[in-house]
Chains A and B, each alone.
Chain A
Amino acid sequence: MTEENNLQYDMPDEAGHFGPYGGKFVAETLMEPIKQLDEAYQKYVKDPDFLAELDKDLHYYVGRPSPIYHAERWSRELGGAQIYLKREDLNHTGAHKINNAIGQALLAKRMGKTRIIAETGAGQHGVATATVAARLGLECVVYMGSVDVARQVQNVYRMRLLGAKVVSVDSGSKTLKDALNEAMRDWVTNVDDTFYIIGTVAGPHPYPALVRDFQTIIGRESKVQLQTMIGCLPDALIACVGGGSNAIGLFHPFIDDTSVKMYGVEAAGDGVETGRHSVTLGAGRPGVLHGNRTYLIADDHGQIIETHSISAGLDYPGVGPEHAWLKDSGRAEYVNITDDEAVEAFYALTRMEGIIPALESSHALAYAMKLAPTMSKDKVVLVNLSGRGDKDMHTVAEREGVEL
């Protein structure tokens, strides 16, 4: 994590603010625990033993560095820029989520916490957390909206196999945001022995910065790998954005490299105009939810409303506060892709390159399909292939009318 220190960009400030965004908007009972977490993190992020253990786990357990793959056939077919894929789908448990889960679990162990809790939407973060908890012998409770429990049966079973207790959350819209509320309630009640592993770059400070720092391994590796492969920086980065952890992990090490364009892709669901979407940055407005100020999808009175996306991992009414800042500052551009476009990209990559991407990552791929043809063949676009598509077989089959 030390290479990060070379950056000019130094958000957030000490209080966790990215301009007007971020911060610590939590009930009093959580103020002390998040302060303790911040202190522990500040200490261990500079601790050589901690960093060595993290590096070792990322290498031998997760399988890092994940390769970068030049999708030559697909690039040729699209007829424009060269598309490279950062293969986070090849990590243990099949997505980028494990990078952060390992980091936070090691932190929990250092802090003497014996119980881990987490929220999950699609189940990828829940699986990553349950995996790490199993390995470290920590008790693990995962909160998941009852709607998601029903549509992600396999991941629920996987978490249970790993020894986690999956709690189905029936309040509110019964999805990711409600799972997060419930995890917060658990944390408030059990702060003494419990560590809350948040899965995305949201929540109160220090979570957005802490999760980001564990995910920047994606961008740091990419920079080095591309240097070796093509000898220069990419022209554009593309990543999907729900909460935004894989995107910030890719973007952050490139923020000072102003020649590199950054595109965050939000899920437009049935289309922004239908109201059934998760386009938080593109169609929401700033407010406060889950401990930070950021863009939100809410009604005129500030009540959070239900979002929609074919990919459960992007189905969230908020977004990491750093993305809100990158949007306002103009450093990153946020675009959106519908369910249909994402599925089209899902098929394209599967058939052209023999790689089955997660539906979340398919949103990033779909934008690459739009962007690459507008660029010349000597340009380079790096797409974060944040997860593999095994978990989405049911969703895609159902769309085709195929019963598995």
Chain B
Amino acid sequence: MSRLAQTFQNLSASGRQALIPFVTSGDPTPEFTVPLLHAMVAAGVDVIELGVPFSDPMADGPVIQKASERAIEQGMNLTRVLSMVAEFRKGDDTTPIVLMGYLNPIEFMGYEYFAQAAARVGVDGVLTVDMPPEEAEEYVPLLKSVGIDPIFLLAPNSTEERIKKMAEKGSGYLYYVSLKGVTGAGHLNTDDVKEKVAQIKQHTDLPIGVGFGVKDADFARTVAGIADGVVVGSAIINKIQENIDDLSMAKQEVIALLSAMRQAMDNEFND
């Protein structure tokens, strides 16, 4: 069983939801990332979305854009992200890692080479923001052939037909983008999300993660009440940005946020 399937099965058995942080690899320095990943796992996260920085992150808001720019300035690229995963795997063989980013770095590396290399270092899933299933006829089978889950996004305006398509092509989990907008924008509307997640669930048994707009522990708790996973990105990167001159403080703040979210999510039904 894949790490992602195992993780969601364990969570489901204990009646809990996945806490899924997103961090941009190499932000603000390459040395910062791997220790942060281990600390996040210790704080109770279940799956890690590791951002591959790209020069033109069209679907991201200003917070993640800045993180990408900082990482690229430090010389981050896809090859180095894969090395980071390999390094992380030396100390953690169970926490699933999902690479999240844009297609061009993968196009330049070559699909086949990327799939092989990613599988070898222990990547579990790949979420390529600008690669819809329509364009992925070669890509999806390649990833699946090496045991990597292709993870697709669904949005508030995704039609029934598209939900079915994602359910068929995707594996690992489906990522529901809770609002029309870029990462870190606005606040999600709980009722709308609830309704849409229910609609998606009619077509798939895959776990549903919800992200874009999860800012604090209260929101994490609310989302945990309606989905299988809570994705938090910009709120974490904000903590890094606010403490850019004191990286041990940055790490501490990120962990404090995630711990609070974990606690809020696990106490969801005990209030």
Structural contact, A191 and B103, CB atoms closer than 8 A: no
A-contacting residues, B33-80, CB 8 Å? 54-59, 61-62, 65, 69, 72, 77-79
The verdict on B147 contacting chain A, using a C-beta distance below 8 Å, is no
B-contacting residues, A163-192, CB 8 Å? 171-172, 177-178, 181, 184-185, 188-192
A-B contact count (CB 8 A): 121
B194 smallest CB distance to A (angstroms) = 19
Structural contact, A29 and B132, CB atoms closer than 8 A: no
B11 smallest CB distance to A (angstroms) = 25
Tell me, in angstroms, the Cα distance from A176 to B195 when the chains sit together: 39
Structural contact, B155 and A289, CB atoms closer than 8 A: no
Residue of B nearest to A15 (CB): B134
Q: Quick one: which of A25, A184, A287 has the most chain B CB within 10 A? A: A25
A245 smallest CB distance to B (angstroms) = 20
Structural contact, B130 and A25, CB atoms closer than 8 A: yes
- Chain A contributes a number of interface residues (CB within 8 A of B) equal to 39
Structural contact, A32 and B181, CB atoms closer than 8 A: no
Structural contact, A172 and B69, CB atoms closer than 8 A: yes
CB within 8 A of B129: which of A15, A27, A304? A27
The verdict on A218 contacting chain B, using a C-beta distance below 8 Å, is no
Residue of A nearest to B57 (CB): A181
Structural contact, B180 and A29, CB atoms closer than 8 A: yes
Interface residues on B, range: 35 or more
The verdict on A302 contacting chain B, using a C-beta distance below 8 Å, is yes
Structural contact, A28 and B69, CB atoms closer than 8 A: no
- Given the interface contacts A172-B69, A302-B78, A304-B56, does A189 sit within 8 Å of B181 by beta carbon? yes
Q: Quick one: which of B56, B61, B105, B162 has the most chain A CB within 10 A? A: B56
Structural contact, B132 and A24, CB atoms closer than 8 A: yes
Tell me, in angstroms, the Cα distance from A23 to B103 when the chains sit together: 13
Structural contact, B157 and A32, CB atoms closer than 8 A: yes
The verdict on A326 contacting chain B, using a C-beta distance below 8 Å, is no
The verdict on A79 contacting chain B, using a C-beta distance below 8 Å, is no
Structural contact, B107 and A29, CB atoms closer than 8 A: no
B-contacting residues, A370-389, CB 8 Å? none
Structural contact, B55 and A25, CB atoms closer than 8 A: no
B99 smallest CB distance to A (angstroms) = 14
CB within 8 A of B132: which of A25, A172, A178, A191? A25
Residue of A nearest to B81 (CB): A301
A240-272 interface bits toward B, Cβ cutoff 8 Å, 1 = contact, 0 = none: 000000000000000000000000000000000
A264-307 interface bits toward B, Cβ cutoff 8 Å, 1 = contact, 0 = none: 00000000000000000000011111110100101011111100
Structural contact, A303 and B54, CB atoms closer than 8 A: yes
Residue of A nearest to B79 (CB): A301
Structural contact, B107 and A303, CB atoms closer than 8 A: no
Residues of B within 8 A of A27 (CB): 58-59, 129-130, 153, 155, 177
Structural contact, B153 and A185, CB atoms closer than 8 A: no
Residues of A within 8 A of B109 (CB): 301-302
CB within 8 A of A171: which of B65, B72, B152, B156? B65
Tell me, in angstroms, the Cα distance from A287 to B78 when the chains sit together: 15
CB within 8 A of B107: which of A177, A286, A304? A286
Residues of A within 8 A of B269 (CB): none
CB within 8 A of A189: which of B107, B134, B157, B182? B182
The verdict on B263 contacting chain A, using a C-beta distance below 8 Å, is no
Tell me, in angstroms, the Cα distance from A191 to B77 when the chains sit together: 32
CB within 8 A of A288: which of B69, B79, B130? B130
Tell me, in angstroms, the Cα distance from A385 to B239 when the chains sit together: 52
12 further A-B contacts with Cβ under 8 Å, apart from A24-B135, A32-B155, A302-B107, are A25-B103, A25-B130, A27-B59, A28-B177, A33-B157, A172-B56, A172-B65, A185-B59, A189-B181, A191-B180, A291-B130, A302-B109
Q: Please name 11 pairs of A and B residues whose Cβ atoms are closer than 8 Å in the assembled complex, sorted by A.
A: A23-B135, A25-B132, A26-B58, A27-B59, A27-B153, A29-B156, A31-B155, A172-B65, A181-B56, A181-B58, A189-B180
Q: Top 7 nearest A-B pairs by Cβ distance?
A: A302-B108, A301-B77, A302-B105, A29-B155, A189-B181, A28-B153, A302-B104
